[in-house]
Structure 1
Amino acid sequence: MSLEFELCLRRPFTLLAHEALLNIYYSASCLKKKAGEFLRPFGLTDVQFNLMMLLKYQSEQDEGLSQARLSSMMLVNRANITSLIDRMEKADLAIRTPAPADRRSNIVKLTGRGKELLAQIEPLYTKEVKRIMAALKLNEQKTVIEMLERIRGNVSEINENTTQDVSLVRA
């Protein structure tokens, strides 16, 4: 279904790049909404689930991850990651302890309850992801990944050049 139809637009897009970008935004919004609907019965948000998945799959043998590392992986600032972990601790899903090597840093791990909840959700989540992505063949999924990576790379390059341009103007 076209974006023009879904949004009930009165006029067609005049710039293909704009239509493509809005399709990415709108699709991301639809996926975020779907994730919220899926996770709500488990008492989780998509951000909490993402943190739990990172702790399970990106830490070595239950060593956990530093709060700073989680912040960079989740693309959120320190204040946001702190409040997120506070909520996760209150729900007994994660625990934060001072890092042995640097007591100014915290290590975050899943609790037993967090591991149990994730074990319950994960098979259902995998099934839902496959159901959503079934609209695309495997080679099409790879193409989507490649295209989105190229767009992100281009945005990073633009940001670097913009930062350099601003530095030149200030000099």
Structure 2
Amino acid sequence: MTNQKAQEEELSLKLFVVLNRTLESIKKRVEEDIKCLGLNPTEFAVLELIYNKGEQPIQKIGEKVLIASSSITYVVDKLEKKKLLERKPCPGDRRITFAAITAKGTELMNEIFPQHKTAIQEILSGLDTNEKENMIQQLKKLGYYAEGV
């Protein structure tokens, strides 16, 4: 193995470790913020998706918020008990059920989502606007490449 290839491998390993540690630190801070808002991270993710994107087929929520499909029914049940979501049957296909935000859910998200956005901004304020834009592009490039390998 050439010296350059060995250095490249070491650098790649270091990048992998740094990315993981950074993501864990950010996730920990975001989860702390979400808990302060009275929801667990999974409940918040589902509610935030439906708040921002409108009603969703329950079967598709898991892939959109990166939650195991086996957990979705449980999370939707919990949000339904809190009267933040409701199930709606699909008129055209009885096999599909939608999760829709309730008036109470919308009211809650209208109150807490701006606070959440501010918390995310504060957590990520270690980078300026240009650095964030560059990081987004670089991470997308890396992600697309990793998917294709």
Q: TM-score, normalised by structure 1?
A: 0.75
Aligned residues of 1:32 and 1:46 also touching (Cα < 8 A): no
Equivalent residue for 1:28, pick from 14, 23, 27: 23
Gaps of 5+ in 2: 1-8
CA RMSD of aligned residues (A): 1.6
Structure 1 residue 144: deviation in Å? 1.0
Matches within 5 A, 1:50-129: 50-59=45-54, 64-129=55-120
Q: Which has the higher contact order (CA 8 A, sep 6+)?
A: 2
Distance of 2:74 and 2:140 partners within structure 1:
30
1:152 paired with 2:143, answer yes
**Do 2:57 and 2:98's aligned partners in 1 also have CA atoms closer than 8 Å?**
yes
**Number of aligned residues:** 141
Q: Which runs of 4+ in 1 moved over 3 A?
A: none
Q: What SS is found at the alignment partner of 1:139?
A: helix
The residue matched to 1:121 in structure 2 has which SS?
helix
Stretches of structure 1 lacking an aligned partner (at least 5 in a row): 1-13, 159-171
Question: Which whole-Å CA distance do the structure 2 matches of 1:139 and 1:118 have between them?
Answer: 29
Distance 1:149 1:124 in 2: 27
The one-letter amino acid paired with 1:15 is E
Q: Percent identity?
A: 23
| TM-score, reference length from structure 2 | 0.85
